[in-house]
Structure 1
Amino acid sequence: MRLFALLTCLLVGCLAEKPHPCTSPALLSGALTVSTQNEKLWTYSQYMYDALGQRIRLKEMGTYENKSFTYDALLLFREATMFEINNHDRTCKKKPLKVDFQPLEIPKTASLLGQAVIGSSSGPGQGLLVNTWIGDLPKKAGKFMSTVTEFGCIPVSNVYHTDQFGWVLTSFFNNVIGLSDPSQLNPPDFCPDAEMESTEEPTDFLSLFLSNH
């Protein structure tokens, strides 16, 4: 009886433990959507994320100011280089990447807003336990609100504010830990000879893509 009571107390203690800031898996792939408050931008992207090598691949389709676009970008943060890839024409544009790599994580300075279940808590497998955090963007660029899974720290959504678009919402889904084809995070064989173009320094992550649409 005492053993049962002890195990019960330990179980209750584990379930009642306060969530802590966390870091998402270093290798992730899946899909995401980005939408803006002023409705100027909407994108659907397949993404590949490598925090170890600081590499991101985004294959996008969407609309910007009511015009449709497709876009394929490889971001190599350690090399400070971005490739805009056109597989159909086998061409590349090579541009300087002048923003810092931001890992998918909840920083230690973030504050817990709350914990909730997406779906239902009525039965096993009917819901997903998530934690929502709020905090400050790097370099005092504003505020953010991020939701991640309690188990695994898998990204669910992220919201932040920009002067150009208002609130920007990123929603993640079909996330898979690992990379099915890591070679997608290397420049295609027709890219390395591309000459570096000169561009103005982007002001935020979104501007990496909007200048081309």
Structure 2
Amino acid sequence: MKLLILLSICSSLALKAWTQPSPCVSPPFMTGNAYMHTEIGGITTSGSFDYDALGQQLRIRSSGFSLNGTFSLDLLMQFQQKVAYEIASSTRTCKKVALDAPFNPIQIPPGSFPVAQTVLGTGSVAGMGLLANTWYGEIPQIQATYTLVFSDNACVPLSGTYSSPES
């Protein structure tokens, strides 16, 4: 009888460990859209991005507004070459600036832990819902926390929220 109880406990723990989502790295090439709002400076912006993990490049095109007025941004960052290009389409100019930042692949950061797993869409019809994992973590260097949502099967980022004492 004790063996049966021990076996059921062990199998329950193994099943729980097996069903836990594991950290992942996003596909090497992605294109997407992003929206951002900050309380600091009242900045609201939306735009698109092109991500190349193999070439360690990121291009961001966005426009928005802040307390100082409207703005637009077209920025190509090439991390291997340690250079960024600020592109101004309206004047057809490009400004080359030094880039002193490491390339951070789009992934679940180390030290994050899973919070929830949900199906976006319907779970009642096989293959018709998107299984999403929610992750939580802290960035002690800047006293910030984050919540990230990634798809389960392809590790595609769906949403992210960062907060710090200033925000």
Shift of 1:135: 1.5
The match for 1:173 is none
Q: Secondary structure at the match of 1:153?
A: coil
SS of 1:140's equivalent? helix
Tell me: CA distance 1:36–1:123, structure 2 relative to 1, closer, same or farther (3 Å): farther
Q: Which residue of the partner structure matches residue 59 of structure 1?
A: 61
What secondary structure is seen at the aligned counterpart in 2 of 1:151?
coil
Identity among equivalent positions (%) equals 33
2:134 paired residue number = 132
Aligned with 2:148 (options 140, 146, 149): 146
Root-mean-square deviation (CA), in Å?
2.2
TM-score (norm: length of structure 2)? 0.79
Q: Which amino acid is the alignment partner of residue 61 of structure 1?
A: S
Superposed structure 1 runs of 4+ greater than 4 Å apart: none
Paired with 1:39 and 1:18, the residues of 2 have a C-alpha distance of 39
Does the CA contact (< 8 Å) of 1:115 and 1:130 recur in 2? yes
The aligned amino acid for 1:140 is Q
Q: CA deviation at 1:54?
A: 1.0
The residue that corresponds to 1:7 in the other structure is none
Task: For residue 20 of structure 1, report the CA deviation from its aligned partner.
Answer: 0.2
**Structure 1: gaps (5+ residues):** 1-12, 167-213
- The residue that corresponds to 1:87 in the other structure is 89
User: Aligned pair in 2 of structure 1 residues 128, 37: CA closer, same or farther (>3 Å)?
Assistant: farther
Within the candidate set 22, 36, 44, 1:34 is matched to 36
Deviates more, 1:26-35 or 1:88-97: 88-97
Distance 1:39 1:118 in 2: 33
1:59–1:73 contact (8 Å) kept in structure 2: yes
Map of 1:101 onto structure 2? 103
- Return the alpha-carbon distance in structure 1 between the equivalents of residues 146 and 94 of structure 2: 33
Report the count of equivalent residues: 150
* Corresponding letter in the other structure for 2:67: E
- Aligned pairs for 1:13-24 within 5 A: 17-24=19-26
Q: Which amino acid aligns with 1:84?
A: E
Structure ranking higher in strand proportion: 2
* Structure 1 CA distance for aligned equivalents of residues 55 and 103 of structure 2: 10
Q: Is 1:78 equivalent to 2:56 in the alignment?
A: no
Contact 2:148 2:159 in 1 (8 A): yes
One-letter amino acid of the counterpart of residue 112, structure 1: P
**Alpha-carbon separation, structure 2, partners of 1:61 and 1:22:** 30
**Deviations 1:167-208 (CA, angstroms, capped at 9, x unpaired):** xxxxxxxxxxxxxxxxxxxxxxxxxxxxxxxxxxxxxxxxxx
Partner Cα separation in structure 1 for residue 165 and residue 81 of structure 2: 29
Tell me how far 1:94 sits from its aligned partner: 1.7
Distance 1:125 1:109, change over 3 A: same
Give the Cα–Cα distance (whole angstroms) in 1 for the partners of residues 66 and 128 of structure 2. 36
